[in-house]
A and B are shown apart, each in its own frame.
Chain A
Amino acid sequence: MAQIDIQNVQKFFGHLQVLKNLNLTIADGEFVVMLGQSGGGKTTALRAIAGLESVTSGKILINGTEVQDRKAADRDIAFVFQSFSLYPHMTVRENIAFPLRAVRMKATERDKAVNEVAGILQIAEHLNRKPSALSGGDMQRVAIARALVRRPQALLMDEPLGVLDAKLREQMRAEIKRLHIARGSTSVYVTHDQIEAMSLADRIVILHDGVLQQVGAPDEIYLHPTNLFVAKFVGSPVMNINGVRIDGNGVTLSGADASFSFPDDALASVRGTAADLTLGVRPEAVLLQHQQTEGYIEVQTTNIEPLGSHDIVDIGLGEAVLRARTESGFISGEGQRVWARLDPAQAHFFDTATGLNLRGAN
């Protein structure tokens, strides 16, 4: 069990700065997911916590103790990699027991600890096999068991499901979540997969270009992105992003031939700003009607993607295009006249130049 504090951490590789003044507190027992594209700095941040990478400046504290100058082995943290990195010549039991031999634990206690963790990870029947006889999922279970067996203060995972196929990934993801609930160990998990992040995390940390973009619970990140990067990175299909002009209560997308009417309170945050504005609305916040309806404007459907459970309908307003999520079969075809409205409560206004959400992250 451990609280992890990252304070003003900078990391350079030569002239390249990969972490820019990173500050983050991970609470005891929390499951934090670092999400970002490759090159965003998430793996470097994880390796800095583990002690596999030194920091150029700043502090890392585990339970209040500064550890940035300690070796990885002295931080009492376990690490699971994407590649399973098991010892091929050892049995599963020997692999899991390895970290305990290093600390010279007694054989009986060691067996007990291995059996317990193998039971949790459902690999007890494989204990006497070699890793090469296991499936990918079971190999990763062994790697996790080996990480957990010595009851580390924290468990760090770097894309542990990256090489598994989709079905196994889903199953292992559920197991990792359940393991966390059962064991309560502080966990930091790195991924570029937003669904994994949304499904696993107590809080998501989004990193881009070495800069922390936003920290928040999954629903906060989804509903209240602080900037355009976060808005576009989370959610599928991607949030509609359009340049926009505001006149009175009229909101006009660039290239559009009509404007949406927004209530005063939805525009309060952008009143008086001189900035160029960008509007972000998720497809589920673009609402469609078959008939002319108060507050809706006329648009043309340009493309339908029937996905079975729902449809994604593209609508054109002049040159502008918006994607809407509708019930399956709601719109029967392309080139139809329909009426559209944007849900003001789910509309985000960003400063085009800085990318910041003008309503803030709430």
Chain B
Amino acid sequence: MADIALQGVTKKFGANIALRDLDLDIKDGEFFVLLGQTGAGKTTTLRVIAGLEKPNSGKVILDGQDATNWNAAERDVALVLQQYSLYPRLTVRGNLEFPLKSRTHNLTAAEIKDRVDRVAETLQITRLLDRKVERLSGGEMQRVSIGRAIVRKPRVFLMDEPLSALDANLRDVLRVELKKLHSELGATFVFVTHDQVEAMSMGDKIGVLNKGRLVQVGTPSEIYAKPINTFVARSVGTPPMNLLDGTLRAGTAVLDAGGFTLPVTRIHGADGARIRFGIRPENMVLDGNGPASGRVFDVENHGVIKILTLDVNGTHLHATVSAQTKVQIDEVVPFGWRSEKVLSFDPTNGRNLDLD
């Protein structure tokens, strides 16, 4: 069990700066997700916490103690990777026992068996214990990898995209299982992913990384509803938030695209101010009354919903509508938006003006 803090961590690889003055606070027992694209620095952050990378400057604090110069073993963290990295010739039991057989643990054979059995039960892999890992499915292998991490009762679990090699349905299942495991163990989890669905659905907190900087930390609903800037706004939600440049006029938004006038509930700025308006696809309304209109460019059918791409004078907008909505490609449809859901961003620096 552990609190984790990074203080002013900078990590360079040659001329490339992977992490820039990163501050991070992860509370004991939290499920913390680092969300970012390839190259954002999320894996580097994880490796700095694990002790596999040494920062050029800044500190790593574990449970209030400066652990910057501790090696990986001293930090007592467990790492689960996307690739399973199990010993193919050993059985599942052999793989689970392996970390316990190191001298530092000093466990008797009976104690080892007891721990392995309990972990196997938690992960529902008891029936697989005597199988060679090369004969397991992807989902089973990832369960064994997680089991091998759990068995030595580390203070922190670090997981680097552990689900991304699995197929979609299995990912759905393991997402729920990992969350359940987290609440049973009560341990601190740091989970790295580029998949916003994983971040939203699993995290107590999400930290959004961009180019080695931490852009925002918050609960999934904070990140989704109150993004600090357009970058965060576009990094969660499928399809991403629509961004539309326009001008405030008499308390309404006059959009550059098509010159349409739409209502705005929260006004930020004087008449004539340039604003980048943000509206999520599910808050677009196609009710026949307008006031704007667009040409249907594409219809993505999800069965339960449809996602329309509307072409508004060359600008593409997404709108999520019910499955019953009947529209044809190239049909011109009127649309509006839920004005109370509209966010206003500063077009020069992307900041959410609601938060100022």
Contacts and interface: CB of A to CB of B under 8 A. Distances in A.
Chain B associates with chain A: yes
Contact of A306 (B221, B282, B297): B221
A171 to B, nearest CB: 8
Given A303-B176, A303-B180, A314-B176, A309 B282 contact: yes
B320 A309 contact: yes
A334 to B, nearest CB: 8
Interface residues on chain A, size class: 20 to 34
A66 interface: no
Contacts, number: 81
Contact of B300 (A170, A234, A284, A312): A170
Given A199-B301, A236-B302, A307-B197, A177 B220 contact: no
B168 interface: yes
B75 interface: no
Given A306-B201, A307-B200, A199 B298 contact: yes
Given A177-B329, A303-B179, A308 B304 contact: no
Interface string A173-187: 110011001000000
Interface in B73-87: none
Contacts of A232: 169
Nearest to A235: B303
A238 B297 contact: no
A64 to B, nearest CB: 31
Contact of A198 (B168, B301, B329): B301
Given A174-B297, A178-B329, A234 B303 contact: yes
Instruction: Pick from B172, B304, B320 the residue with the most CB of A within 10 Å.
Output: B304
A329 B200 contact: no
Interface string A201-223: 00000000000000000110011
Interface string A299-318: 00001011111101010000
A195 B237 contact: no
B221 A235 contact: no
B201 A198 contact: no
Given A223-B303, A232-B169, A282-B303, 16 more contacts: A170-B300, A178-B297, A219-B323, A234-B303, A236-B172, A236-B302, A238-B169, A303-B179, A306-B200, A307-B200, A307-B201, A308-B220, A309-B237, A309-B238, A312-B201, A329-B221
Which 4 pairs across A and B sit closest by C-beta, in order of nearness? A305-B201, A174-B298, A222-B303, A198-B301
5 contacts: A177-B298, A195-B300, A305-B200, A309-B282, A325-B304
